[in-house]
Structures are given as C-alpha cells and as structure tokens.
C-alpha cells in the first residue's frame, strides 16, 4: 500500500507521510553522517548514494535535475549500480522520451513521490523510455523528492527501484523522507564550500601574480602562503 497523496491547487502532488515500521536508528544515523561527509568531500557522493539506496530499499541512488519545460536532464551525482554507458544512453537517446505529465506534477520540497503518483500506469509502461531503457534494465519505479527549484528546473534526490525491490510503497517513501532534508542541506553546504575554495584559489593566484615577494603569516606566526 502506498502513502496517500493528493493534488494541491497547482496540480502538484502532496504526499501525506504516515507512521510506518520503525527504522534502525543506528543505521539512519550512519547514513546521515555519511551524507554530511560528502558535503565537504564530493568524491564520496557515489558511495554515499549507494548507502542511501540500500537504506531506502532500491537499486540505484542519484541526485539529478529536470527541466519540466523541455524534458532535459542532468546528473550531479550517481552511484555505480547502473552501468555508466547505459546511464549515458538515457541522455543520448531517451531523456526527451520521458512521459511529460509527471514532471509538471512534482511534489513540494522534501515530499517523496513514486512514478505512479505522478503518471498513469499505462502512460508510463507505454512510453518509449520505459520499453527501451527502463524495462531492459529491470527498472520498474523511481522514488524521488525535490530538493530545490529555480524557474522550471527542479533538483531531485531519487532512487530507482528494480523489479526485485518491488514498486514504491509507504516504507520506501518514509525512508526517503527521513533522508531528503539532509541531502538537501548537504548539497547547499557543498555549494558554499566550493565557492569558498574558488575564492581562495583566486586570491592565491592574485598573490602569486605580484612581482614583489610576499609571505602571509597566521596569528600563530606560521607561513600560510608565499609567492
């Protein structure tokens, strides 16, 4: 049984989160800790998404963006559970073949939804995207939650469901709901850290361009930069 969902005044899905079976709090804490580690060490995202998808109960985890205006997509991070070339084929041939209806009905920030919340089942299974890309890989569903919106572009955290995992249900949505706020905050922290690193690099380059010798000393008298 899936979590109830309703349409709001804009036509978007609002998921009603209900209590479900208790989760292992130690496991949850470990996943959340790993998510924040990836905020400052982006190379860790692939492993973190693999850990997250196992906690949620799916096949492959990803952080991606979708433009509802033209169906274009981009992936920010993905685990290694989908072959790279197979994943690339989605962008090369199938991204604009996604059923369009669902991308205009995405739920609110941190609100989880499965594909069947957004699409008619016949629309999904009858699409070229499903027949030629999802079905051959055994992918039957996707649970996702919006992290951020800008114009018509939505950044999302998603976990693909394999046929062995079953369809998105209340337990899957509940676990996604527990992780999504932390993924969203970690992405924001990562952006700030990247901006600060870029500013530091620019400042260092500016100092290195000076003709005169320059030493930067910290409060304890240690040399932190020379040109």
Closest CA to 143 of 127, 161, 129: 161
| Mean pLDDT in residue range 71-78 | 85
pTM: 0.76
Q: Which of 40, 63, 72 is nearest to 184 (CA)?
A: 63
Flag whether pLDDT at 12 surpasses 70.
no
What pLDDT band is residue 89 in, cutting at 50, 70 and 90?
confident
Average pLDDT value for residue range 166-194? 90
Q: Which residue has the tokens 């209590």?
A: 19
Enumerate domains of the chain plus CATH numbers.
5-192 (3.30.450.80)
Confidence of residue 105 (pLDDT cuts 50, 70, 90): confident
* Of 60 and 104, more confident: 60
pLDDT-based confidence at residue 10 (cuts at 50, 70, 90): very low
Residue 176 pLDDT greater than 70, yes or no = yes
């Amino acid at each position: 049984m899936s979590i109830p969902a309703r349409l709001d005044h804009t036509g978007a899905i609002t998921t009603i989160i209900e209590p479900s079976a208790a989760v292992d709090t130690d496991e949850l804490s470990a996943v959340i800790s790993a998510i924040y580690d990836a905020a400052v060490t982006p190379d860790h995202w692939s492993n973190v998404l693999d850990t997250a998808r196992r906690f949620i109960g799916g096949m492959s985890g990803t952080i991606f963006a979708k433009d509802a205006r033209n169906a274009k997509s981009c992936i920010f991070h993905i685990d290694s559970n989908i072959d790279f070339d197979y994943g690339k084929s989605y962008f090369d041939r199938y991204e604009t073949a996604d059923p369009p209806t669902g991308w205009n009905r995405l739920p609110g920030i941190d609100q989880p939804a499965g594909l069947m919340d957004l699409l008619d089942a016949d629309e999904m299974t009858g699409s070229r995207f499903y027949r030629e890309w999802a079905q051959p890989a055994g992918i039957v569903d996707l649970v996702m939650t919006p992290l951020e919106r800008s114009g018509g572009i939505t950044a999302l955290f998603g976990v693909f469901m394999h046929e062995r995992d079953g369809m998105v249900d209340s337990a899957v949505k509940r676990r996604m709901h527990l992780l999504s706020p932390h993924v969203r905050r970690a992405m924001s922290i990562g952006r700030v850290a990247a901006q600060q690193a870029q500013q530091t690099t620019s400042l260092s380059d500016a100092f290195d361009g000076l003709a005169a010798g320059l030493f930067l000393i910290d409060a304890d008298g240690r040399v932190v930069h020379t040109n």
